[in-house]
Amino acid sequence: MGVLRLILGDQLSHSIASLRDCAPDRDVILMCEVREEATYVKHHKKKIAFLFSAMRHFSAELKHKGCRVDYIKLDDEGNSGSLTGEVGRAVEQHDPEKIVVTFPGEYRVLKDIHSWADVFDAEVEVRPDDRFLCSPEAFKAWAKDRKQLRMEFFYREMRRKYAILMNDGKPEGGQWNYDADNRSPPKAGLHVPLPYNAQVDCMTREVMDLVADQFGDHFGHLEPFHLAVTRDQARYALRKFIEQRLAHFGDYQDAMIEGEPWMYHSHLSFYLNCGLLDPLETVGAAEQAYHDGRAPLNAVEGFIRQIIGWREYVRGVYWLQMPQYAQANFFNATRQLPWLYWGGETRMNCLRQCVKETEENAYAHHIQRLMVLGNFALLTGIDPQQVNEWYLLVYADAYEWVEMPNVTGMTLFADGGVVGSKPYAAGGNYINKMSNYCANCSYRAAQKNGPDACPFNYLYWDFLIRNRKKLDGNPRLSMVYRTLSTMNDAKIKAIRDDARRFLKALQESGKS
Ligand code: FAD
Ligand code: DLZ
Ligand code: SF4
Question: Average pLDDT in the 297-315 region?
Answer: 97
Single out the residue of 213, 227, 417, 200 nearest to residue 328, CA to CA.
Answer: 417
Q: What is the average pLDDT value for the chain, to the nearest integer?
A: 96
CA of 310 to the centre of ligand 3 (A): 28
Does residue 123 register a pLDDT over 50? yes
Question: Per CATH, the architecture of 136-193+245-321 is what?
Answer: Alpha Horseshoe (1.25)
Question: Residue whose CA is closest, atom 1 of ligand 3?
Answer: 350
Q: What separation in angstroms does the CA of 327 have from each of 130, 290, 318, 324? A: 28, 42, 12, 6
Cα–Cα distance list, 218 to 211, 212, 250, 353, 373 (Å): 9, 9, 35, 20, 20
Residues 433, 185: contact at Cβ < 8 Å? Answer: yes
Task: Give the pLDDT confidence score for residue 510 in this predicted structure.
Answer: 63
CA of 51 to the centre of ligand 2 (A): 8
Which residue, judged by its Cα, is nearest atom 8 of ligand 3? 428
Domain 3-127: assigned CATH number: 3.40.50.620
DSSP strand pairing (170-171 vs 69-72)? unpaired
Reference 16, options 31, 1, 34; nearest CA is 31
User: Which residues make up the CATH 1.25.40.80 domain(s) of the chain?
Assistant: 136-193+245-321
The secondary structure of 112-157 as a DSSP string is HHHHHHHHHTSEEEEE--TTSSS-HHHHHHHHTT-SS--HHHHHHH
Between the CA of 143 and the centroid of ligand 1 the distance, in Å, is 22
Q: What is the pLDDT of residue 185?
A: 87
Return d(Cα 266, Cα 397) in angstroms, integer.
13
pLDDT reported for residue 189: 81
- Averaged over 258-269, what is the pLDDT? 96
C-beta separation of 183 from 365 below 8 A = no
Whether pLDDT at 512 is above 60: no
Q: What is the pLDDT of residues 313-347, one digit of tens each?
A: 999 999 999 999 999 999 999 999 999 999 999 99
Which ligand lies nearest to the CA atom of residue 372 in the structure? Answer: 3
95 touches 120 (CB < 8 A): no
Name which CATH class applies to 339-509.
mainly alpha
Strand 123-127 vs strand 98-102: parallel, antiparallel, or unpaired?
parallel
Residues 338, 222: Cα–Cα separation, whole Å? 23
Angle at 406 between CA 404 and CA 412, to 5 degrees: 95
β-pairing verdict for 170-171 and 166-167: antiparallel
**Residue 423 scores a pLDDT above 70:** yes
Given this model, what pLDDT does residue 318 score? 98
- Determine contact, residues 365/371, Cβ cutoff 8 Å: no
Average pLDDT over residues 373-391: 98
Write down the H helix ranges in 228-278: 231-244, 246-249, 269-274
Mean per-residue pLDDT for 8-29?
Answer: 97
Q: What are phi and psi of 383, to 5 degrees?
A: -50, 120
- Per the CB < 8 A criterion, the answer to whether 94 and 241 are in contact is no
Ligand number with the minimum distance to the CA of 215: 2
pLDDT of residue 220 exceeding 90, the answer is yes
Q: Where does CATH 1.10.579.10 sit in the chain?
A: 339-509
pLDDT tens-digit profile of 452-505?
999 999 999 999 999 999 999 999 999 999 999 999 999 999 999 999 999 999
The segment(s) of the chain belonging to CATH 3.40.50.620 are 3-127
Evaluate whether 395 touches 364 at the Cβ level (below 8 Å): yes
DSSP-H helix ranges across 121-244: 136-143, 151-161, 202-214, 231-244
- List all residues whose CB is within 6 A of at least one atom of ligand 3: 348-350, 428, 431-432, 437-438, 441, 443, 445, 454-456
Question: DSSP characters for 423-472?
Answer: -----HHHHHHHBSGGGG-SSBTT--SSTTB-HHHHHHHHHHHHTHHHHT
Distance CA 20, CA 231 (A): 18
Residues 27-55 have a mean pLDDT of 98
**pTM higher than 0.85:** yes
pLDDT of residue 93: 96
> 104 CB less than 6 Å from ligand 2?
yes
* Span 173-195, pLDDT tens digits: 999 999 888 888 888 788 899 99
Provide the b/e sequence for 309-331 (b: ≥16 CB within 10 Å).
Answer: bbbbbbbbbbbbbbeebbebebb
Residue range 387-398: average pLDDT? 98
- Mutation probe of ligand 3 site: the residue of 258, 348, 379, 436 with most atoms within 8 A of C-beta: 348
Q: How many Å lie between the centroid of ligand 2 and the Cα of residue 10?
A: 6
Among 57, 114, 61, 112, CA closest to 86:
112
Mean pLDDT, range 115-130, rounded to an integer: 94
pLDDT at residue 511 greater than cutoff 50: no
In this structure, the chain runs to a length of 512
Residue 8 Cα, ligand 2 centroid: separation in angstroms?
A: 6
Q: What is the pLDDT of residues 279-289, one digit of tens each?
A: 999 999 999 99
